[in-house]
Structure 1
């Protein structure tokens, strides 16, 4: 049933062309196992109306095993072999299927029970190498080099050792010989799009460019961590991220732990900054700051651990740099927080103008208001039902 379904799918097309198949001069129907039972040889299938060959497939004792070829308009388009499980095995090729004497090879790969392994290559229609990749036993790509039709390198991913020869010289490009190596990358029009620096297969720096040639992104990677920066098309830095590597104690895969994030306005002014420190469960946020565009601080938050309880101390500012609010919160969940202690409000001159006191459950218990001279104008005790009365000492 599976082979019959594959056959029907292969012959189905926009016009639902009908194929007729023969083996050693006898008519066979690959969808009907009785017509192929016990037979060995090469089955050929042609368009029933034109007689143009569309498919060839090898049978051994009634089983589809060995060579398989597909044609388009009578020109070879794909060829491979299948094993006893019906999966592709060994060398497989794809062609442009163009009429005439020349039929350019577009892709070549080796498969093991349906999985691509080892070196795979593909070509542009003009014969220039388009892509070279190396696949491990599990089929995953370990190294890749891509090219435009001019032969210029367009993308590069390196492995811990050279893998792409003879198709591509990743031994040199990836810094496996003679120290760190830098390569330039180009798009299909031959324009410079980026650069890569590798050392013994490891990426040390990466940069990409906008169409106007200005930097778009830069990445620097070292043994301890790295830095990533993003830029607008006019060259102004808009973001920066710093991280460090963290390797689990059991020798597992190292992880990237972010330690700093910065955001910049289109003018280049810093408008937001966050700091993390590595912790048992990854990165723990320690501080966050925001700025007005005039350069004065807008908001600041500091995180501390108080006997296992996470506290956040918030400060907000007027645009002249004077404090507007101060207060602490116990962070009880991702979106949950509880007021702690005394929260204070200030006027634009930085003078204390209001206080709000909280109990251990975060409920307001007292509110005070002060005038510009610092004299108390209201001092109320606040009760659970929302009622209040003048606070008595």
Structure 2
């Protein structure tokens, strides 16, 4: 029903409110307690509209066993509308107001047993609007959030009980004042901000930088203060790094940020000692260019090059001995689901660089010829290979 539609009759409102009453009772923690309610000195049953129809006043409900007040609620002309309060052990725990629709409207607060405000919010027809604050039982600010009409939660900031910043979410403009200075924290002053986040023990956990509400750099820290992860954006390039607890870089990913998303350009992995063990590269369209791995002594281990001979599906794979000499080389055609079909000559070499074996494949991946040499390079075998696996000496050594 739209706001401009005619309001429902009181009986319809009361029926609709039955479910809301049950939800409110659950929220107040008294769902299983038997309550006796009265309005203007007369007993009423809020679950049955007949006893409250057409009446106006403040309904008060008490626990039958203890006699303690558990709920107060305003009724206007038979409609539950206006102030609502909940109590536990005789102490106020929640208060808010509802409109004729049964939705929360205006200020809403929650309290600790000592009377300290734990939550303070404003609602418009059931939706949180503007600044919503939560507090620790000590009274110190815990979190402040800004809610917009359509966007919902737009920005927020959290604090430890010691008052140190512990979390931050920036909006597209400053909205948290006067509770928090997100104009400064989120870099709306013309330069990059510098923000530090702490845990409940007071240990520094993160360092952040924002420009005009957008995060341009973040750094997560280990307990020992050394970096665990870094994420930095410069222009349209994003760099992500991961570190060991000893401070050694274990991975670095560089990507391009475009209108259609983030596209990887380079992905490097490092050993526990910091030496490069793998590197993958892509072009600006996200298509693979190369994939190389390395021994921990720094020598190349393997390298795959994509798009060989101007054929995007053709891959040349080279393997190496740990002394840097080529161990094997061959080309493949990439198929579906990462399948690869060998084509052309595939060769293997000794660690001295001497050719010791060669297999030749046709364009369907079938072996057509095999040759082998000894360690001195002397031909030992040269066979023609047929489709059924049979062989015929192609040339005698």
TM-score higher than 0.5: yes
Alignment of 1:163-242 (within 5 A): 163-177=175-189, 179-242=191-254
Q: Distance in 1 between matches of 2:158 and 2:183?
A: 15
**Residue matched to 1:4:** 18
Alignment counterpart, residue 300 of structure 2, candidates 292, 297, 302: 297
- Say if 2:52 is the partner of 1:36: yes
With over 3 angstroms needed to count, the CA separation of the structure-2 counterparts of 1:110 and 1:383, relative to structure 1, is farther
- Paired residue total: 380
Most deviating of 329-338 and 302-311:
302-311
- Say if 2:384 is the partner of 1:385: no
**Residue matched to 1:278:** 284
Alignment of 1:27-176 (within 5 A): 27-96=43-112, 98-99=113-114, 103-176=115-188
Q: Secondary structure at the match of 1:289?
A: strand
With over 3 angstroms needed to count, the CA separation of the structure-2 counterparts of 1:70 and 1:114, relative to structure 1, is same
**Residue matched to 2:327:** 324
Q: Deviations over 1:132-187 (max 9, x none)?
A: 12222235322221111121111222223211101101112222225322122211
What are the ranges of 5 or more consecutive residues in structure 1 without an aligned counterpart? 249-254
**1:308 offset after TM fit, Å?**
6.3
**Residue matched to 2:12:** none
Q: Secondary structure at the match of 2:336?
A: coil
Alignment counterpart, residue 268 of structure 1, candidates 248, 258, 274: 274
What are the ranges of 5 or more consecutive residues in structure 2 without an aligned counterpart? 1-14
Q: Distance in 2 between matches of 1:386 and 1:33?
A: 90
Contact 2:37 2:45 in 1 (8 A): yes
Alignment counterpart, residue 338 of structure 2, candidates 335, 338, 342: 335
Q: Secondary structure at the match of 1:171?
A: helix
Q: Secondary structure at the match of 2:338?
A: coil
With over 3 angstroms needed to count, the CA separation of the structure-2 counterparts of 1:294 and 1:20, relative to structure 1, is same
- TM-score normalized by structure 1? 0.89
Q: Secondary structure at the match of 1:334?
A: helix
Contact 2:173 2:212 in 1 (8 A): yes
With over 3 angstroms needed to count, the CA separation of the structure-2 counterparts of 1:374 and 1:6, relative to structure 1, is same
